[in-house]
Structures are given as C-alpha cells and as structure tokens.
A and B are shown apart, each in its own frame.
Chain A
Amino acid sequence: MRVLIADDELRLRKVVALHLKKSGLDVIEVSNGRQAIEKAKECKPDVIVLDVMMPEMNGLEALSHIKSDNMLKNIPVIMLSAKATGEDIEKGMALGAACYLTKPFSPKQLLDEINKLGVKL
C-alpha cells in the first residue's frame, strides 16, 4: 500500500515514515500541502496523511483541494495534528477527513487507521 505523508516537522516525519516503511508500506514524504497535492496527482497514493500546521498551504486547505479534485477526492485522508481542540477536529472531519489523530499519537494507531482505510479501497 502506498502512503503519502505531508508534515513540515522533519524529525517527526522521518521517524513516522521509518515506522510505516518498516511495517511494509510504500511511503512518500512531502513537507507542505501544496507538495502533497502535486505528489498525490503524480503518485496516486492509497492513503494521504496530512499535518494541519504547515507552511505555504496548511493541511486543511490541502484537504479541501483534495476533496474537490475529481482525480483525488476518493483517496482517504488522515489528519495528523498538534491542534487538539474539538473545533479543530470538527473542521477536519467536516472537510472530508477519514479520521483525525492528535499529536502525540501512537504510530501503531496510525498504522491501524491506514490499514483499515486501505482495506476499504
């Protein structure tokens, strides 16, 4: 299964990617929402993982673009964020996120969510 991760926090992105790769997934990394959209069109991932607070284009803006793009709208998106208020979570879910995990999260929980969404495809 191919997973695209967008997070500007380099150290976290690297260690999450390492966990997912060692778990057998094909992982593509980018550092902002704009790159996520471009890369998603190019690589057609099975699942997209988006951080919320990113430079250039944040995760919620990217999610909104993805869900209004005919080519991308069916790809499930997991929001991964340090923003943990109910309002933030509701915003992400209302825009069409499949689930919303708050940092700090268990990488196993992320892997389980990715696998669940991948199986549904």
Chain B
Amino acid sequence: MDKTTKDLYSFFSHNIRTFNAEIVTTIECLKVGFIDKDSEEFDTVYEASYLLDLYDSCLSIILDYLDGAKIEKKSEEVDIVRITEEFLESIKGYLTASGLNIVKNFNDEIWYTDSYIFKNIYKIVLYEFIKTASKGISFNIAGAIEIEADEIIGALPDIFKTFQEIFDKIGFKLKFDNKKIVLEYLS
C-alpha cells in the first residue's frame, strides 16, 4: 500500500470508528438510563451520525479522485455563508463542550463550482481545523474564506494535501499552516 492510501485509510478509519464509538456509547447510556433521549448528551448521536455520513461521502469523493475520475469546476451555486453556518449548527454540541470562543465575520459570498464535492470537503476541512483549535477561532468570509485559531494543539492531518489537490481541480486554492486556513475562489 502506498503512503497516500495508507494515510487515507488511517484518517477515515480513525474518524469513522470514533464516530461509531460515540454513537454506541451514547446509546448504551440511554439504554441503562444514564441519559434520556431529550438530553443534550443524546444529541451526540445526531452529531456523530451526521459526521459519519459526511466522512463517508468524502471518502467516496477521494477514492474516485485517486482512481482518476474526472473532477472539474462546474457552475453550480454555493452559498458559502449558509454552508458554514449550517455546519457550525450541526456540530454545536462539540463547539459548546470545547468552550471555543467563536468569532464570525461573514459577508455574503456566492461561488460557482461542483457543489457536492465542495460542500463535503469544505466541511471536513472546517471540522478538522476546529478539532485542533484551542481557546478561540475566527471565521472571516469576505472575498475568501479565512479561518484562524488562537492556539493549535497538534497538527492538521496529511490528507489536507489531497484536499488541496481536489480543491485546485474545482477552482479553489487551499492554503494552510498550523494556525490558519485560507480558501480562495479562483473565479
């Protein structure tokens, strides 16, 4: 197995098994009466299921890409602010538990690309970056997407290089270091 495939397997296996464990453990808590289904804790099941689906979709995109499938910039509309807001809402349990201070500065941005590929990879990029952030994180959407963390623990996964390549194919430039991500739309 080459390094890219190994990294890909390791990244997705780790995440999918983790989300699965979150679901199993929360259901067990419900079963034995430690939580009820209206509790905040039970929302873990919805959040982990949502992420499980997202990572599965992204895995399929990446396998297609590595298999040589044609990936190109399409003209489908993507509302960047709406996608970002919806994603942050989908992981609000995580954001609350993490205690991260979130600062948002959003201007309306409509971009045109392959919306399915964009949405799936963009959301994983967001989630992986959020997971490494501690203290605070700021989201700026105006012309480009800029996300910056006050402090980072660990490093972004190697698979970000593959995300960079795919973004490039659908009309974006992804730049990142350990404190900041910039996604530019190449119109």
Residues of A near any B CB (own CB < 8 A): 8-12, 14-16, 18-19, 22, 31-32, 53-56, 82-84, 102-108
Q: Which of A11, A22, A53, A102 contacts B22 (CB 8 A)?
A: A11
B140 at interface (Cβ–Cβ under 8 A)? no
- 10 cross-chain CB contacts under 8 A: A8-B131, A8-B154, A10-B94, A11-B22, A11-B48, A11-B97, A12-B18, A56-B153, A56-B154, A82-B18
Closest chain B CB from A9 CB (angstroms): 5
With A and B bound together, what is the CA distance between A83 and B131 in angstroms?
A: 19
Which one of B25, B94, B98, B155 has the highest number of Cβ atoms from chain A below 10 Å of its Cβ? B25
Query: Contact: B34 with A82, CB < 8 Å?
Result: no
Q: How many residues of B contact A (CB 8 A)?
A: 30
Query: Contact: B93 with A22, CB < 8 Å?
Result: no
Query: Contact: A12 with B25, CB < 8 Å?
Result: yes
Kindly report which residue of chain B lies nearest to residue A105, judged by CB atoms: B21
Residues of chain A contacted by B23 (CB below 8 angstroms):
104
Does more than half of chain A's interface fall in helix, strand or loop, or is it mixed?
A: loop
Residues of chain B contacted by A105 (CB below 8 angstroms):
21, 24
B20 at interface (Cβ–Cβ under 8 A)? yes
B44 at interface (Cβ–Cβ under 8 A)? yes
Closest chain A CB from B55 CB (angstroms): 12
Residues of B near any A CB (own CB < 8 A): 13-15, 17-18, 20-26, 28-29, 32, 34-35, 41, 44, 47-48, 93-94, 97-98, 131-132, 153-155
With A and B bound together, what is the CA distance between A54 and B153 in angstroms?
A: 10
Query: Contact: A82 with B29, CB < 8 Å?
Result: no
If A11-B93, A55-B154 touch, does A82 touch B132 (CB 8 Å cutoff)?
no
Kindly report which residue of chain A lies nearest to residue B43, judged by CB atoms: A11
With A and B bound together, what is the CA distance between A82 and B35 in angstroms?
A: 25
Query: Contact: A19 with B25, CB < 8 Å?
Result: yes
Residues of chain B contacted by A55 (CB below 8 angstroms):
132, 153-155
Which one of A11, A18, A102, A104 has the highest number of Cβ atoms from chain B below 10 Å of its Cβ? A11
Identify the 6 closest CB pairs spanning chains A and B, nearest first: A55-B154, A82-B17, A104-B21, A103-B21, A22-B34, A104-B20
Residues of chain B contacted by A102 (CB below 8 angstroms):
17
Residues of chain B contacted by A106 (CB below 8 angstroms):
24, 28
Residues of chain A contacted by B34 (CB below 8 angstroms):
18-19, 22
Residues of chain A contacted by B35 (CB below 8 angstroms):
18
If A15-B41, A55-B154, A56-B154 touch, does A104 touch B17 (CB 8 Å cutoff)?
yes
Residues of chain B contacted by A10 (CB below 8 angstroms):
94, 97-98, 131
Which one of A12, A53, A84 has the highest number of Cβ atoms from chain B below 10 Å of its Cβ? A12
Closest chain B CB from A100 CB (angstroms): 14
Closest chain A CB from B156 CB (angstroms): 10
Kindly report which residue of chain A lies nearest to residue B48, judged by CB atoms: A11
